[in-house]
Structure 1
Amino acid sequence: MLSNVTAFVTGASGGIGREIAETFADRGANVAVAARSDGIYETVDAIGEEQALAVECDVTEEDSVEAAIEATVERFGSLDCVVNNAGVAGPVEPFDRVDSEDFLDVQAVNVAGALSCVKHAAPHLRDSEQGSVVNIASIGGKRPYPNRSPYAASKMGLVGLTRTLAYELGRDDVTVNSVLPGPVEGDRIEEVVAKQAELATVENAEPASIGPDDFALPDFYIPKSDVAEQVAYLAGPNARKVTAQEIAVDAGGTWY
């Protein structure tokens, strides 16, 4: 299904990113595993060096992104898909307690980092016969996320970036979509839930919680594999007419 694809996956040192990289490799793709942390080497070990390349990359540094893209093309000879998964959760605070620098730091990774990756990959994507970009957004970009204003703003920004890039790259037959996960199983959601609970001791702060009433399905925690499967579909041959879309993998947590 992806045997002719070379993918560049950011934030692939663990979590969703590692799951995406392994899923692509299982379907025959070559994968550049990009992140700031040493976990990328564990991901490559899990996949095998014949199909995977570890590239240290900080998406907030454009020179780092450019070098990582170049290393990918040098190793595999092409680049067909960019998966912008690198992201930070940001502060869990009421909006009036959020430091402006912390707010901008979240945008730098979650939005500007994605733009930088597509910018430097674009010449190669345009040359590909099935160029694609998949941005990992969140249901936080479509519904209220109390005490998560920097994160929610960044994910809505990523949705807007997705739609715009789809039109700018569409003339060259490059598809651009975003996947919106709900609460994905793992350490990150547990940390966020714990931080929300801590706000009970903060004056004028109201902790937010998630539960079955917020979702259509009672079992609303999302397996990483469900997200990875959707990303692989969007990068594959059966999604060539799917572009400029936000596809939620969220147990019915968003309704538009």
Structure 2
Amino acid sequence: MPESQRLAGKTAVVTGAASGFGRGIAERYAEEGARVAVMDINADGAAEVARAIGNAATAITVDVTDGPSVEAAMRSAIEAFGEIDILVNNAGWSHPNRPIMEIDEAAFDKVFAINVKSIFHFTHAIVPHWRSIGRGVMINIGSTAGIRPRPGLSWYNGTKGAVNTLTKSLAVELAPDRIRVCGIAPVMGETALLETFMGVPDTPENRARFVATIPLGRMSKPSDIANAALYLASDEASLVTGVNLEVDGGRCV
């Protein structure tokens, strides 16, 4: 492999990798020499991404809200690769942008299960493995919503605030095990959840109104998040842990 590959010889698990940020991260990791487990509840989508990546990828179906499903998926990844160096907890969901009283309990439970409880399940599934090999890197995809919350997404904002805090807490607790834990907080991006976040039709006019709140003048793209995730996973970040890296064009300033 070329020496320029920053993840040469490493292995990674990326959840929610059938589309959006997760797909971008999985593809970037493979480009940089990693073997990647493309995990998603969408089995066909995960398989399509893995096929597009090629021999460096394997597709694994998982329900991130279900402990036994996560345990089985992680066993499959370890069996496929031998060891897992990197875990990206990217799978996420949002309720529609609506006032707090219009979001029912089922939607509340679902958003917390996918965005927060999934980290609980994956931590339980992978930390024993990392302790056995003496290393590991966890990257949690949070959001600017957990730093600069706005009306209409209150319960979603709460999940991302939890992700940001969990990232710091896990980083401190797992540091003695040589396990790094970092977070990424993207600004709203060009993904399938865009219209859900905006709460209005995805029109050029509505995009322009939101983009006007971002100092650098554009939304995030999967490549922006993938590049941040590449740095945090690489040996270049060997002394970096507990950070929530804002990839937001200045929105949180």
Report the TM-score, using the length of structure 2 for normalisation. Answer: 0.91
Match of 2:191 among 186, 195, 217: 186
- 8 Å Cα contact 1:80/1:128 also seen in 2: no
1:34 corresponds to which residue? 39
Q: Residue 211 of structure 1 aligns to a residue in which SS?
A: helix
Confirm or deny that 1:158 pairs with 2:163: yes
2:3 corresponds to which residue? none
2:120 corresponds to which residue? 115
Match of 1:46 among 27, 42, 52: 52
Residues 32-68 of structure 1 show CA distances to partners (whole Å, capped at 9, x for unaligned) of 11110020001101111x2111110001110000000
Unaligned runs of 5+ in 2: 1-5
Confirm or deny that 1:64 pairs with 2:69: yes
- 8 Å Cα contact 1:91/1:150 also seen in 2: no
Residues 149-190 of structure 1 show CA distances to partners (whole Å, capped at 9, x for unaligned) of 121010001011111110111111111011000011133213
Match of 1:247 among 239, 245, 248: 245
Counterpart residue type for residue 242 of structure 1? V
2:214 corresponds to which residue? 215
Confirm or deny that 1:13 pairs with 2:18: yes
Match of 1:177 among 164, 179, 182: 182
Report the Cα distance in structure 2 between the residues aligned to 1:187 and 1:120, rounded to whole angstroms. 28
Q: Residue 193 of structure 2 aligns to a residue in which SS?
A: helix
Report the Cα distance in structure 1 between the residues aligned to 2:127 and 2:36, rounded to whole angstroms. 17
1:238 corresponds to which residue? 236
Q: CA deviation at 1:10?
A: 0.3
**CA RMSD, Structure 1 to Structure 2 (Å):** 1.9
Q: CA deviation at 1:128?
A: 4.2
Counterpart residue type for residue 49 of structure 2? T
1:203 corresponds to which residue? none
- 8 Å Cα contact 2:211/2:219 also seen in 1: no
Q: CA deviation at 1:197?
A: 6.0
Report the Cα distance in structure 1 between the residues aligned to 2:91 and 2:46, rounded to whole angstroms. 12
1:201 corresponds to which residue? none
Q: Residue 55 of structure 1 aligns to a residue in which SS?
A: strand
Match of 2:109 among 104, 110, 120: 104
1:22 corresponds to which residue? 27
- 8 Å Cα contact 2:94/2:196 also seen in 1: no
**Identical positions, percent:** 37
Report the TM-score, using the length of structure 1 for normalisation. Answer: 0.90
Change beyond 3 A, Cα 1:72–1:173: same
Report the Cα distance in structure 2 between the residues aligned to 1:129 and 1:3, rounded to whole angstroms. 19
